[in-house]
Structure 1
Amino acid sequence: MAVCGSACGSNCVPKDTEGEEGERLKRLSLEEENSVRRCTKCAEEEARKECNGLCAGCFRAYLYGKFKLAVTSNAMISPTDKVLVAFSGGPSSRVALEFIHEMQSKALACWDASNSQALPVFTVGVVFMEECNISDELSDQADDVIAQIRSIVSGLSPPSKDLRIVPMESLFSSDLRKLVGSINDATGREDFVRHLRMLSLQKVAFEFGYNKLVLGLSASGIARHVLSATVKGQGYSLPADMQYVDTRWKAPVLPIRDCLEQELVTLCNLESLKHVQVHDKPCTSINGLVSSFIARLREDNSSREHTILRTAGKLKPFNFNKFSSNQYEYVPSRLRPKFQFIETGEPESPEVLCPICASPLTATELATTRCSQQMKGLNIKEMEAFYLSCCQSCHFQILPKEETSMSCDGFFDLLPKPMVKRSLLRDEIKDYLLEDS
């Protein structure tokens, strides 16, 4: 190609341009020799292998974008809310706390810059449920875990967060340690503690005036729940546990369900987000076996967890998993068509829930309960009404059997009162039977 100092034709290239092109090709060749991969999004920073081709900054923006989209598009948090973050110290809840804190900080900055300052900014609190007194599994690590929790929350930048460390047994008058210890099945014991934890979080939220509850439930956690619930025979109630909207609970549950657990761990390592390292003991329960199975699937293909979540997401949700037409006015109009709405005049079919796990009962379970109640007549005891209201999974894994050391009466007397109140009351059963007579 000709090069000269004057304009002599279309094939002539200025000398400076040819030099710049040569330097660019030389730089690209040098990068290829050094095997330097650039970020697939910004094409400037070096891509990290653990970030799926993204640099550290773009990877964080990617996760924060998914979290913020889930919160805003589902109207999870409004300016007047009081938000309580259930903090266990693990990577998932640590990232949830970090992102909620960032959203609050940005909202405060916008509020300070606003002239009118008409809308308030939501407040954030943190709660840690101390469970060492009801189980021996974490008792030897309790003091160290609590110290780390205090250090993490106090180390956040302003605005500061109120941290409440609440022993679970202090919320109920029952002997929870004896109650949990009476459950012989390892899977049932784990599930019952999880139900108690959820009940405790609701109680703390209401006592301190919080109306929203954020859980660090990731896509990986939901994938594990999908498989374990299927194994336990809880497939009918499965759609209820994986939706954005769940009015079974008085305070809405808001999981970070669009992020994988491995992504959250990677972000904690990149951002040096301090989280609690708990040394898990060998687990032989169904939940532990499913966790091991999911981990092996992740090694083969990291997208398997999202595949499980998408497949289970096709199940039809219940009425308490739907938006009502006069609810969530903060949902943008362009996003509303993707949700299922209940019109004001549409009749709702009330679901009968298990008093222990709050799972909807199947038609077969309802028919069995109805038949048993009719056989026992109007003089049915409160304990019998409670047992008849429980789902088959809780009957098999949690409730005491005849060969166990604790009687059914003793187990019922130890149950927390809020859990007992969720069962059918004796007067309601009498009215129900009188209508059929």
Structure 2
Amino acid sequence: MACNGSNCQSNCHRDEDDPSAKSDVAGSAAAAAASVHSSGAVCVKCKANEPIPAAVARGGEVGRFCADCFRSNVFAKFRHAVTSNAMISPADNVLVAFSGGHASRVALQFVHDMQYKAQKNFDASRDRSLPVFGVGVAFIDECTAYPIPSSEMDRVLGDIKLMVSQLSPPTKELHIFPIESVYSEGSRDSKDRLKELLDRVTDATGKEDLLLHLRMLSLQKIASDNGYNRIVLGSCTSRIASHVLSATVKGQGYSLPADIQYVDARWGVPLVLPLHDCLAQELSMLCRLDGLKTVELPNGPCSSINSLVSSFVALLQEENPSRECTIVRTAGKLTPFHFNRIPEINDCNVPLATRRRQKRSNLKLNGSISLESFCPICYSPLNKSDLPALGSLETRQSASDVFGAACCSSCQFQILPRDASDMEQFYSLLPEALASQAKQTNKYDFNPLREQIQDYLLSDSETDP
């Protein structure tokens, strides 16, 4: 309803009645436009504001946008990844893996923004038919693997608690999980077992990879114990590009497509990568623009393949800002696995639009059973060339032999000990969740059966009415 011009206190009619006001507004607008154009550059999106200064943006796509357009552009990438891949629905309970770095900080902030908006819509609606998804935060404490002064770790934990508590409602529960807790509860020597396990891996890359797998096992344990059905990772384009090259160097080409998709549901709780299309440079800049606090744990020099490849990719990115995107787009042409999608939801509480989006994003599967066996350490899908070793598992005598034969070639080369006696000791130090994977792999391997009945199976075209 329009206000009365005679009684209005906001001066909204002043421009209509006072010619001087019109000239003042026009003059200020002209001055603003002149100041922007005097620099010789404008934002490529709004065509009005001055882009982020080159000294701050450090080139690349960041320097083409003004601050507001840059912020909305990064969030649009996040939102598109979430909606087009049906990553988060109103009935979900989401766990954000939080390390304190730029990527995980932006992931937490964006997930919070989505939840906050959903809560406002819920409060404003009359029927309140759509629930608001829950959000939790998980921080993995790796002090046992990488010794850090207690004062430094206390500072980091204090900063993380502060960052989570300062987020506006709905409240988010913070789970601080020591990585040695992957062992059975009540195990008093879990720290010593973990240290000895890592000490028995002599290869720097193997030790780093094993710790990564234990970290993933920790996130799965937190999620399953606390009722979360999604795990949000802060993996961005830069991180994925480095993984593409390092996995290729380590001989993990067959399983590579499994790790670089938007969704990874091979685990008990599916993983989602909403920052898949965002560069690390963009996330770092966003944290600076919005004043998002981050924490960094001190890391010593590392000569692993992973760190060397990351340095190499960072150098390529400096020479050509499109290199990381090119690497990820090229790897994206590989055929994904059947588990690179969110399992279909039949819950009536999930909106029909969400279910339709999920159905469009899901891959068409040839059969309803899993066609892959998985490495018990890294959980990578195994190639058919690795399966003959699995077929002879029953003829092996020791559990360590069964476990070693079930691992992928990369883990066998970089993580597992060569000597049989060392292998026995290594196996005895593994968490039960890892040790039991070899038994599950052998138990649920349907490939031999499928190959025997392949001639009698119907294709998708034959089953369609």
* TM-score bucket of the superposed structures, by smaller chain: 0.7 to 0.9
Residue deviations 1:86-136 (CA, integer Å, cap 9, x gap): 100000000000000000000011111101001110011111010101233
Query: Of residues 285, 303, 306 in structure 1, which corresponds to 2:322?
Result: 303
> Structure 1 35/432 Cα, relative in aligned 2: closer, same or farther at 3 Å?
closer
Give 2:365's aligned amino acid: I
> Structure 1 228/411 Cα, relative in aligned 2: closer, same or farther at 3 Å?
same
Give 1:416's aligned amino acid: P
Q: Is the 8 A contact 1:385 1:426 kept in 2?
A: no
1:180 aligns with 2:198: yes
Query: Of residues 390, 397, 409 in structure 1, which corresponds to 2:407?
Result: 390
Q: Which residue of 1 aligns with 2:387?
A: 366
Residue deviations 1:290-325 (CA, integer Å, cap 9, x gap): 010011011011111110111001011122225667
Q: Is the 8 A contact 1:217 1:257 kept in 2?
A: yes
> Structure 1 115/361 Cα, relative in aligned 2: closer, same or farther at 3 Å?
same
More off after superposition, 326-335 vs 300-309: 326-335
1:123 aligns with 2:129: no
Shift of residue 238, structure 1, vs aligned partner: 0.2
Query: Of residues 25, 35, 53 in structure 1, which corresponds to 2:39?
Result: 35
Q: Is the 8 A contact 2:232 2:272 kept in 1?
A: yes
> Structure 1 306/331 Cα, relative in aligned 2: closer, same or farther at 3 Å?
farther
Residue deviations 1:352-388 (CA, integer Å, cap 9, x gap): 1100001111122212443x54xxx646322211111
Shift of residue 141, structure 1, vs aligned partner: 3.6
Instruction: Give TM-score scaled by structure 2 length.
Output: 0.80
Q: Which residue of 1 aligns with 2:427?
A: 412
Tell me, in whole angstroms, the C-alpha distance in 2 between the residues paired with 1:57 and 1:92.
19
Q: Which residue of 1 aligns with 2:279?
A: 260
Q: Is the 8 A contact 1:322 1:341 kept in 2?
A: no
Query: Of residues 53, 71, 83 in structure 1, which corresponds to 2:64?
Result: 53
1:86 aligns with 2:107: no
Q: Is the 8 A contact 1:73 1:332 kept in 2?
A: no
Query: Of residues 204, 222, 242 in structure 2, which corresponds to 1:204?
Result: 222
Q: Which residue of 1 aligns with 2:371?
A: 350
Tell me, in whole angstroms, the C-alpha distance in 2 between the residues paired with 1:23 and 1:156.
41
Shift of residue 277, structure 1, vs aligned partner: 2.7
Residue deviations 1:167-200 (CA, integer Å, cap 9, x gap): 1112314421211121110000000000000011
> Structure 1 41/358 Cα, relative in aligned 2: closer, same or farther at 3 Å?
same
Give 1:413's aligned amino acid: S
1:241 aligns with 2:259: yes
Tell me, in whole angstroms, the C-alpha distance in 2 between the residues paired with 1:360 and 1:392.
11
Shift of residue 278, structure 1, vs aligned partner: 3.1
> Structure 1 317/65 Cα, relative in aligned 2: closer, same or farther at 3 Å?
same
Q: Which residue of 2 aligns with 1:316?
A: 335
Aligned-partner SS, 1:281: coil
1:160 aligns with 2:171: yes
More off after superposition, 75-84 vs 323-332: 323-332
Tell me, in whole angstroms, the C-alpha distance in 2 between the residues paired with 1:367 and 1:144.
51
> Structure 1 324/219 Cα, relative in aligned 2: closer, same or farther at 3 Å?
same
Tell me, in whole angstroms, the C-alpha distance in 2 between the residues paired with 1:431 and 1:66.
38
Tell me, in whole angstroms, the C-alpha distance in 2 between the residues paired with 1:123 and 1:165.
18
Shift of residue 431, structure 1, vs aligned partner: 12
Aligned-partner SS, 2:177: strand
Aligned-partner SS, 1:407: helix
5+ residue gaps, structure 1, are 1-18
Q: Is the 8 A contact 2:86 2:357 kept in 1?
A: no
Shift of residue 77, structure 1, vs aligned partner: 0.8
Residue deviations 1:210-246 (CA, integer Å, cap 9, x gap): 1111111111111111000000000010001112232
Tell me, in whole angstroms, the C-alpha distance in 2 between the residues paired with 1:306 and 1:218.
10
Q: Is the 8 A contact 2:204 2:304 kept in 1?
A: yes
Question: Cα RMSD over matched residues?
Answer: 3.2
Aligned-partner SS, 2:232: strand
Q: Which residue of 1 aligns with 2:288?
A: 269
Query: Of residues 111, 116, 121 in structure 1, which corresponds to 2:122?
Result: 111
Shift of residue 259, structure 1, vs aligned partner: 0.6
Tell me, in whole angstroms, the C-alpha distance in 2 between the residues paired with 1:168 and 1:69.
33
More off after superposition, 332-341 vs 50-59: 332-341
More off after superposition, 159-168 vs 67-76: 159-168
Alignment of 1:10-25 (within 5 A): none
Q: Is the 8 A contact 2:36 2:50 kept in 1?
A: no
The share of aligned pairs that are identical, in percent, is 47
Q: Is the 8 A contact 2:138 2:174 kept in 1?
A: yes
Q: Is the 8 A contact 1:298 1:305 kept in 2?
A: yes
More off after superposition, 195-204 vs 418-427: 418-427
Give 2:218's aligned amino acid: S
Q: Which residue of 2 aligns with 1:194?
A: 212
More off after superposition, 241-250 vs 424-433: 424-433
Give 1:203's aligned amino acid: K
> Structure 1 208/325 Cα, relative in aligned 2: closer, same or farther at 3 Å?
closer
Tell me, in whole angstroms, the C-alpha distance in 2 between the residues paired with 1:81 and 1:168.
25
Q: Which residue of 1 aligns with 2:239?
A: 221
Tell me, in whole angstroms, the C-alpha distance in 2 between the residues paired with 1:432 and 1:100.
39
Shift of residue 146, structure 1, vs aligned partner: 1.1
Q: Which residue of 2 aligns with 1:283?
A: 302
Give 2:262's aligned amino acid: Y
Tell me, in whole angstroms, the C-alpha distance in 2 between the residues paired with 1:58 and 1:430.
50
Residue deviations 1:385-404 (CA, integer Å, cap 9, x gap): 1111001100110011229x
Tell me, in whole angstroms, the C-alpha distance in 2 between the residues paired with 1:274 and 1:216.
16
Tell me, in whole angstroms, the C-alpha distance in 1 between the residues paired with 2:447 and 2:32.
79
Tell me, in whole angstroms, the C-alpha distance in 2 between the residues paired with 1:138 and 1:203.
27
Tell me, in whole angstroms, the C-alpha distance in 1 between the residues paired with 2:37 and 2:116.
44
Aligned-partner SS, 1:423: helix
Give 1:364's aligned amino acid: S
Tell me, in whole angstroms, the C-alpha distance in 2 between the residues paired with 1:380 and 1:394.
21
Query: Of residues 408, 422, 425 in structure 1, which corresponds to 2:437?
Result: 422
